[in-house]
């Protein structure tokens, strides 16, 4: 029977065919917490190297991590598994447990800070990086690049300019990203915030112009046509049949609603415009913080 004899009874073909179609209640059993052995550590390393991150985390929950042998290796592997599964808060905490003497200390610190930044814990990210003492010039410049990026995330342009003035742009792994951060800095400095009051005023004078001012040309034109057409219909019926005609009242009411909505919409278009810009910039900054550490450590 060869391979078949090594399978547990539940793997027989027929049973397998049926059980896949039936719902099997998942009864959780009691799990003992025990200490790591060298085989466990090798197995954990194997799991992470083969991208079986969920299995790696299951193993880490099964065994005590705190005072085990090769604790640093294990914290790194757990943190790396969380990072790859996009569980960034857990990744931050786990990677921070890697001690100074371990070979992955630098990588752990940088990725821990990046995960904190991505989770919007910018202050934590700054503290992690500030406390880290780089062991060579390249890592020092990488640290400064990350800190500069964090300053950009919080729109602290003064700090960014101070730090970026020390960039040498001489490390191939992240020179391009440093230049991109400089461009983003210029973009933020020159960003025209636009005023909601001005947008509302424009739309009150010419329907739709406030939205065009906020960068939504298509939406502005649509508002212009809608309000314009309803206005024309109201005027035609008022002109022919007077104010109390039902069609005048209906079209007049629709015109009033559309006109008011146009002004209201324009005010909020400015907020939407700012939010879209901020989101785009945040995404670009995080991307340009992520790529350097991937290039340097992978």
Partner 1 sequence: MFSTSVGQSLTAEEYLLKGNFKLAALEYEREYFNAQNNYDRYAAILSKTECYKKSNDFENAFSTIDRISLIGLSDSLRFIVLYQKALCSYLSNRYAQAESYIQQIKQCNYFQKWETSVEINLLYTLVLNELQRWNDAKMMILEVKDSLALNKGEFEGVEKIIYSYSNDSLPKLKNEKVLFWVSFIPGAGIVYAGKPAEGFLNLTINMASLAFGAHQIYYSYYLTGYFGGAIMLQKFYFGGRKRAEFLLNKNNYEKALYFNENRKKEIIEVLQKKNKGA
Q: Which residue has the tokens 């919409």?
A: 265
223 binds partner 1 (CB under 8 A): no
Contact 156, 165 (CB under 8 A): no
Q: How far is the CB of 9 from partner 1 (least distance, A)?
A: 9
Residues in the chain: 298
Per rule CB under 8 A, count of chain residues that contact partner 1: 51
Q: Is 232 in the site for partner 1 (CB under 8 A)?
A: yes
Residues 246-275, one symbol each (x = binds partner 1 by CB under 8 A, - = not), give: -x---x------------------------
d(CA 79, CA 81): 5
* Separation of alpha carbons 173 and 279, rounded Å: 26
> Considering the rule CB under 8 A, would residue 86 count as an interface residue with partner 1?
no
Q: How far apart are CA 229 and CA 220, in angstroms?
A: 14
Instruction: Report the nearest approach of partner 1 to the CB of residue 24 (Å).
Output: 5
243 binds partner 1 (CB under 8 A): no
Q: With CB under 8 A as the contact rule, which of the stretches 45-53, 119-127, 128-136, 180-188 interacts with partner 1?
A: 45-53
| Helical ranges in the chain per DSSP H | 3-6, 13-21, 38-49, 53-62, 71-84, 88-96, 105-118, 122-131, 137-153, 157-164, 175-189, 196-205, 209-213, 217-241, 246-297
Residue placing its CB nearer to partner 1 in the complex, 17 or 165: 17
Query: Is position 52 an interface residue for partner 1 (rule: CB under 8 A)?
Result: yes
* Residues binding partner 1 (CB under 8 A): 2-4, 6-8, 10-11, 13-29, 31-32, 34-35, 37, 39-40, 42-43, 46-47, 52, 54-55, 58-59, 62-63, 229, 232-233, 236-237, 240, 247, 251
């Amino acid at each position: 029977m060869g391979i078949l004899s090594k399978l547990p009874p539940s793997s027989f073909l027929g049973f397998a065919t049926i059980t896949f179609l039936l719902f099997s209640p998942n009864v959780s059993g009691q799990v003992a917490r025990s200490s790591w052995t060298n085989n466990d550590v090798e197995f954990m390393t194997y799991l992470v190297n083969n991208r079986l991150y969920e299995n790696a985390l299951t193993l880490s929950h099964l065994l005590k991590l705190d005072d085990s042998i090769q604790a640093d290796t294990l914290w790194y592997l757990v943190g790396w598994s969380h990072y790859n599964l996009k569980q960034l808060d857990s990744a931050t905490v786990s990677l921070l447990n890697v001690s100074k003497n371990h070979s992955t200390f630098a990588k752990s610190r940088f990725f821990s800070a990046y995960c904190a930044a991505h989770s919007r814990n910018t202050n934590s990210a700054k503290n992690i990086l500030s406390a880290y003492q780089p062991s060579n010039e390249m890592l020092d410049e990488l640290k400064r690049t990350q800190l500069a990026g964090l300053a950009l995330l919080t729109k602290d342009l003064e700090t960014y300019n101070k730090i970026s003035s020390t960039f040498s742009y001489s490390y191939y792994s992240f020179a391009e990203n440093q230049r991109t951060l400089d461009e983003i800095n210029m973009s933020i400095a020159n960003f025209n915030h636009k005023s909601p009051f001005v947008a509302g005023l424009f739309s009150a004078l010419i329907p739709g112009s406030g939205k065009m001012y906020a960068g939504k040309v298509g939406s502005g034109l649509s508002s212009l046509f809608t309000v314009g057409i309803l206005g024309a219909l109201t005027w035609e019926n008022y002109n022919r049949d007077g104010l109390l005609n039902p069609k005048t009242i209906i079209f007049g009411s629709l015109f009033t609603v559309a006109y008011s909505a146009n002004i209201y919409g324009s005010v909020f278009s400015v907020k939407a415009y700012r939010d879209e810009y901020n989101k785009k910039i945040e995404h670009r900054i995080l991307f340009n913080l992520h790529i350097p550490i991937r290039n340097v450590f992978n």
